[in-house]
Chain A
């Protein structure tokens, strides 16, 4: 039982990372109905930005300025940088294709993904880089009976949930959120209502990418590393999570992410790590066959 609960905790922590990235997929899909294949790589760039910001002030595991300030700076740089990257990608690679067929932006998204991975590999590092978490955040390990979790893992979970709640409130409670929903519902009608659709889309990209950047910071502080290839598998899993939850549905993405993390953890822990992903994707296929619109999605009209 102890092991089961421990794997559950592991899964929830990993799942909150998936959920943060899945939110970006679902937001962008919800507004533009496009699969932003490069989103996982935006998360990767966020982690590298955080690592870079930390490297400026941390030498030999000692922070030159107060640690809290460095962490704050990492968050600003990673969220801001990733957000601007998202906006730039939208501007250069997706906006010209907004009225093209659905597959064209998918291909440019793949191109952007390939570009970001190659660029980081060539210009930054082909090997993983360090995020000096020891100097920045307490390395306390929390114990509850036989269960343990690092404080940073718990923080990841708590901050992720808080960000998701905030995003939910942003979309459902603010005036700008209703403009987003109106754009999602009918872009042309939204234009007639005086909504600046371009701005809504830019902000959506900024928010989605900033969340991925934040996921990069949280991951860096949790596991102390960043790697040019880290966005690939995580991107696929996060997209899967968004689909399980019902793509386009914010709460679905959160729960889908958590669910996927837990599922992966339990499959690896109790069946086999070799076939971990096999079971995760079998579960996905089963969910979709029983509930084609995802767990929380509403039945969709065709989008092929």
Chain B
């Protein structure tokens, strides 16, 4: 077997890379942990790269910023990248590297609810359990099952779905076309919203698009014959611009003879330019705040930093979760920093208890997890596309 030699090589490469990570900034030797690692997990390549790639860049930025500010008492945090490609199988294998290594103190991610549900048992049963802070897993089961490792900074489907339905009803919706994109995030959310609409006797029509779909004329024709006055599209984002452009071509103008409510990925000002203005007037709710639409110097500074690091146009491909990914990384890193250092080590048990008890300062202000691992008071933000920006209309609660 040649494995051991490969292992040694890999280990050496890993150490080499880690050494390049940055110099130490000093700190007292007594409470300086020997090594601190966290992992970023999500679908960074493949068909869901449009949501994963931006989140990973945000996490890398968060770790760099944290290290520049001194790291954990002078120890630089090393970031492991786990590209699970939204497969629970790959996720379990990747997580095993962290489960076995006590210096891996937490995960930012996984991003897909299905991946969380498919791998959380392993994280919970590890000794000590390996905590995670997800930036986008919205399925209710993620935090409802009593796992102490589970945390998320985004709002839940059962908060967003009914809130979205209530918003449309308040705006006078009579007939709603409900669409999903056949992903674990979007189907569950569309289900919640459709159920909430039906509970108020609003007629709905349900349609699905596959990832990679670029022609929506069939659905738009169905929508027109259904006489929908609202379209609700639960989506991570890539389909929105072509979809609304085609609606306009088919004579459905947003704000004129139809209204549009999108979610998360569709709260993205680049859709306005990419749809050549067809998106103007559309609403979108987001389970996480968009730093570009939030007032406050921390969020604005982060947006400037992201653009400086990845290019002036980088926000248009940052995906919906580049803000929450940074926020989740901040929470996890602060919990690690607050944990006691014993003999140069930080225990994951302590990280979990600090995640539960502490209040974290993030780009969106103070954040605290409740007993389940959800963000207390986590709100849903309603945005509207106006001019060339997404403008916050209000924050609604679930």
Contacts and interface: CB of A to CB of B under 8 A. Distances in A.
Interface of A: 3, 6-7, 10-11, 13-14, 17, 61, 118, 121, 125-130, 132-134, 139, 141, 148, 150, 152-153, 219, 223-225, 227-230, 232-234, 264-265, 268-269, 273-274, 276-277
B219 A268 contact: yes
Contacts of A148: 250-251
A14 B238 contact: no
B102 to A, nearest CB: 34
Given A225-B274, A227-B212, 6 more contacts: A13-B217, A126-B317, A127-B317, A128-B274, A134-B277, A268-B219
B78 interface: no
Given A127-B317, A129-B274, A223 B50 contact: no
Given A10-B217, A268-B219, A128 B209 contact: no
Interface in B266-297: 270, 273-277
A33 B207 CA distance: 39
B211 A229 contact: yes
A78 to B, nearest CB: 16
B297 to A, nearest CB: 27
Contacts of B210: 233, 277
Contact of A121 (B45, B217, B251, B273): B45
Contacts of B225: 3
B324 interface: no
Interface in B195-245: 207-215, 217-219, 221-222, 225, 237-238, 241-242, 245
Most A CB contacts (10 A, CB to CB) among B221, B237, B245 go to B221
8 contacts: A13-B215, A150-B250, A224-B242, A224-B275, A230-B212, A233-B213, A274-B207, A276-B218
Contact of B219 (A61, A125, A133, A273): A273
Contacts of A10: 215, 217-218, 221
Nearest to B313: A125
A6 B223 CA distance: 12
Nearest to B179: A273
Nearest to A235: B212
B246 A264 contact: no
Contacts of B50: 126-128
Given A133-B276, A223-B215, A230-B212, A128 B221 contact: no
B218 A227 contact: no
Most A CB contacts (10 A, CB to CB) among B214, B245, B251 go to B214
A277 B210 CA distance: 10
Contacts of B273: 130
Contacts of B127: none
B47 interface: yes
Contacts of A6: 221
A127 B316 contact: yes
Most B CB contacts (10 A, CB to CB) among A121, A128, A234 go to A128
A148 B246 CA distance: 12
Contacts of A265: 217-218
B331 interface: no
A233 B273 CA distance: 25
B214 A225 contact: yes
Contact of B274 (A126, A130, A230, A274): A130
Contacts, number: 116
B332 to A, nearest CB: 24
B49 interface: yes
B242 A223 contact: yes
Q: Is the interface of A mostly helix, strand, loop or mixed?
A: helix
A219 B242 CA distance: 11
Nearest to A275: B208
Contacts of B275: 224
A61 B277 CA distance: 10
A7 B218 contact: yes
A138 to B, nearest CB: 12
Nearest to B221: A6
Contacts of B242: 128, 223-225
A153 B212 CA distance: 19
Nearest to B248: A139
Contacts of B42: none
A3 B212 contact: no
B89 interface: no
Contacts of A134: 276-277
Contacts of A118: 45
Most B CB contacts (10 A, CB to CB) among A11, A126, A265 go to A126
Contacts of B49: 121, 126, 228
Nearest to A143: B251
Contacts of A141: 249-251
Given A229-B47, A229-B211, A139 B218 contact: no
Nearest to A125: B317
Contacts of A268: 207, 218-219, 222
B218 A223 contact: no
Among all A-B residue pairs, the 7 with the closest Cβ atoms: A10-B217, A127-B317, A268-B218, A233-B212, A150-B249, A273-B207, A225-B242
B77 interface: no
A118 B45 CA distance: 8
A223 B215 CA distance: 8
B53 interface: yes
B215 A61 contact: no
B20 to A, nearest CB: 21
A153 B218 CA distance: 13
A269 B214 contact: no
A134 B276 CA distance: 7
A7 B251 CA distance: 15
A223 B245 contact: yes
A15 to B, nearest CB: 10
A121 B242 CA distance: 18
Interface string B313-348: 000110100000000000000000000000000000
A63 to B, nearest CB: 13
A128 B241 contact: yes
Contacts of A150: 249-250
Most B CB contacts (10 A, CB to CB) among A13, A118, A233 go to A233
